[in-house]
Structure 1
């Protein structure tokens, strides 16, 4: 065979081999990319497991320090959701509340399974589920401090200090509604209880907290804290769990449908009653079939 013909065929074979190698590499690359982009819904359906991140908020969610067992309203709610969907609920990781965005983005769990207020500072970090209840935040002060009674505007003064958690709802409420007041900021790791203690110890004058946290604190520390009398709360917020931001929203629809079912069948009302959480702490969600109440 002439040398030129041999060279030609060798060249053809080399080109074919290169094409095959490139095609194989591209296929593996696409496969790898697809694995990385697997949606939460697809992963949950494959593993039959919802991975929950969580933070302590008794009695909404508690963790026994000795056994590590999780209990409370959200434990029962998620277990009921899992039962209805035939999915296992895995309580994967306890985190500081301020870490939820990074943890979701890092795929450390599928959903933060403790309710949070759906406020603008948080909605850019995840999808909030349908609220299963609403919660009020009020202004609280020391038991003997009457300066702000029926006059919340008096809080907006340079000689008043508000105890807040940096980057959290307490800080947002203070900055937007009471810009003249001083802020005593603590970290999310220090928690709401420390924010309240800053008021009862005299380091600050006012704290904005939800009714559940206030109820638990005043039950354990009678005579230390009081709700400032006012004709309205500082804010009312739907409380929801939060899932990862992604284009495939089927996981969110799965959870939302489950929550609506548990609301409409009365499970949520019975659950809140079980844990002695009255309407002075959680405002129950109206059923869609209930007649509208005239103003």
Structure 2
């Protein structure tokens, strides 16, 4: 009987111990969950980032798998100044990146993300590191729209665009009366410039960085009439989970510092091939247009 009682007591002690340990583990997990992303970064000393290969903002070398690019250098500089490390946790996609920060798989997206009005509904964005202007490209000898973009809004004007791309969005939103028959989304942007060169289309809208290679290989064929007046001007920012105020304030303070001390401009000079490809946040043209 005594042996039986001892067994019962031992079992009760074991069960009680397991319950206590379980409660401690649950409390520990809850504390981890309750902490903000920024508090976890400070505790662990590591920023967990997701990334998309998006030159020159974020570059993944296909051979060595090493990272470089404008935003990669910016986040590394922020980490260096604050004794933090960057863990390039996983590649993400444009389709899943908001979900990746929402679910806590990563702390931030380390490549430039345009802070569009639609994205702002689901995620928070830092202040811009730089702006991406959207140029207006026409044939070299075409002057019809030089002084008045509204002249594009005519049924005789043919807009070169690709389904789902910014050129198609601008065509639909700004020039509903123009002739807009977009290509399928497997068409490269260089095809749009070729369409204009050959006279099959009249105008398209694109980042100057994308037009640069085409113009270098095909001089005196197309031109950007939007250098001084881009039709859009998108802020390039780090994207984080919505509501993470601590992390947002930290990143904004650091970005402001490296903009003011010239670090961002030095980084940009390594990756930007010509003036006007991007717009510095200190430039007079640094006005958001969406």
- Interval containing the TM-score (normalised by the shorter chain): 0.7 to 0.9
Residues 70 and 104 of structure 1: is their aligned pair in 2 closer, same or farther, counting only changes over 3 Å?
Answer: same
Gaps of 5+ in 1: 1-20, 288-295
Alignment of 1:181-220 (within 5 A): 181=178, 182-184=180-182, 186-187=184-185, 194-201=188-195, 205-219=202-216
Paired position in structure 2 for 1:18: none
Structure 2 match to 1:180? 177
1:280 to 261, 276, 279: 276
Deviations 1:96-146 (CA, angstroms, capped at 9, x unpaired) = 334322222233322122223322122112111111222321122455766
SS, match of residue 136 in structure 1: strand
Aligned-partner SS, 1:67: coil
The aligned counterpart of 1:99 is 96
Counterpart of 2:5 in structure 1 is: none
* Structure 1 contact 152–230 (Cα < 8 Å) conserved: no
Count of matched residue positions in the alignment of Structure 1 and Structure 2: 263
2:75 counterpart of 1:78: yes
Q: Aligned with 1:140: secondary structure? A: strand
Matches within 5 A, 1:1-295: 32-141=29-138, 148-159=145-156, 160-166=158-164, 169-181=166-178, 182-184=180-182, 186-187=184-185, 194-201=188-195, 205-219=202-216, 222=219, 225-228=222-225, 232-246=229-243, 248-286=244-282
Query: Which SS does the other structure have where 2:269 is aligned?
Result: helix
How much has 1:252 moved relative to structure 2? 1.2
SS of the counterpart of 2:279?
Answer: strand
CA distance in structure 1 between the aligned counterparts of 2:94 and 2:222, rounded to whole angstroms: 24
Q: Which stretch of the first structure deviates more once superposed, 196-205 or 237-246?
A: 196-205
Q: How does the TM-score come out when normalised to structure 1? A: 0.73
Preserved CA contact (<8 Å) 1:163 1:199: no
Is the contact made by 2:58 and 2:110 (CA closer than 8 Å) also made in structure 1?
no
Deviations 1:168-207 (A, max 9, x none): 64444333211233251655xx5xx823424425686533
* Aligned partner of residue 184 in structure 1, secondary structure: coil
RMSD: 3.5
Show CA shifts across 1:206-247 (max 9, x none): 33222223224434555564324686220223321211112x
SS of 1:180's equivalent in the other structure is coil
What is the alpha-carbon distance in structure 2 between the residues aligned to residue 263 and residue 151 of structure 1? 34
Q: Cα–Cα, structure 1 residues 242 and 144, in superposed 2: closer, same or farther, change >3 Å?
A: same
